[in-house]
Amino acid sequence: MKLRQIIIAITGLLLCIGCEERNPALFEDMSGVYFNNRSATMRVVDSLDITFVYEKEDYVDVPVKIQLLGRPEQYDRPVSVSVHSDNASQGVDFTLPQEPVMPAGASEADYVVRLLRTDALKSERKSVSLAIHANEHFELPVTEMVQIGDTVSVLAFDIFFSDMFTKAPAAWDENLIGKFTQQKFELICDVLDMDPADFNDASVITLAKLLYISSEMTSYVKGEAEKKAAGLPYDENAFDPQTGLPLEFGR
């Protein structure tokens, strides 16, 4: 009987110990931050390339994710992030609408960089570089992320941006609307009030839509050429800046 009581007592003691909340001492004491930005395939990345060509607005907000390593606190904590650029100016090419802060109770936060569309972006690719630093609230226990095939920094993040194409949109068909140029693309979107992003969606830019674009733009350019010939005000964007000839929207 005594043995049974001893076993019950020991079992109860073990259950009580098992119910206690236990956390690794290192994690409990840690308070760190790092950039945790991921691609569509969930790989950590240290840079992002943005183009305005598919945007209707004159700005793009880029959220840069800051990850907490440690326990959330019940008060806001400033995060030290520096931003610099060799060819972009704050207030002209980009703005920083908010202060970098880890909100109360949060384990991650987005620091937003607002990119601004300017004429310079049609011929120049600009960049903004961010770096995260230690401060009185946070350490930097993680410096890089090792992945299959590469190692990326999680203390620095670069944003590249332009208003240029690297290739024609997926739904552009040269057989129906002619050889692709950025000037023609922008004229179509302006004249027909189309969303630039639609040109990457074949379910939106259908065969019927392409035939409509070809017909409407050919008619529009013809009308602007007639205005020009008559000495009337006309749309200069309807003409090739090199040759002065009307743009062609067909073969």
Integer Cα distance of 195 and 131 in angstroms: 34
Strand order of the β-sheet with 31-35 is 31-35, 59-70, 108-116, 94-95
* Same-domain pairing of 139 and 213: no
Residue pLDDT, tens place only, 73-112:
999 999 999 999 999 999 999 999 899 999 999 999 999 9
**131 inside domain:** yes
Q: Could you tell me how many residues make up the chain? A: 251
- Residue 128: the pLDDT is 98
* Same-domain pairing of 41 and 158: yes
Which positions ≥6 away from 216 have C-beta within 8 Å?
A: 191, 192
Give me the sign of the Cα torsion angle 112, 157, 38, 162. Answer: positive
Considering 96, 127, 162, which residue would you say is the last residue of a domain?
162
Considering 108, 142, 162, which residue would you say is the last residue of a domain?
162
CATH number assigned to the domain comprising residue 66:
2.60.40.2030
* Same-domain pairing of 85 and 141: yes
Considering 128, 162, 196, which residue would you say is the last residue of a domain?
162
* Same-domain pairing of 129 and 219: no
Cα 182 to chain centroid, rounded: 21
- Residue 23: the pLDDT is 42
Residue pLDDT, tens place only, 228-241:
999 999 999 999 99
From the list 154, 201, 188, the residue with the least C-alpha distance to 45 is: 154
Residue pLDDT, tens place only, 8-24:
443 443 334 343 333 44
Which pTM does this prediction carry? 0.75
Backbone phi and psi for residue 12, each to the nearest 5 degrees, phi listed first: -60, -40
Residue pLDDT, tens place only, 105-144:
999 999 999 999 999 999 999 999 999 999 999 999 999 9
Contact (CB, 8 A) for 104 and 75: yes
- The strand pairing partners of 151, in sequence order, are 146
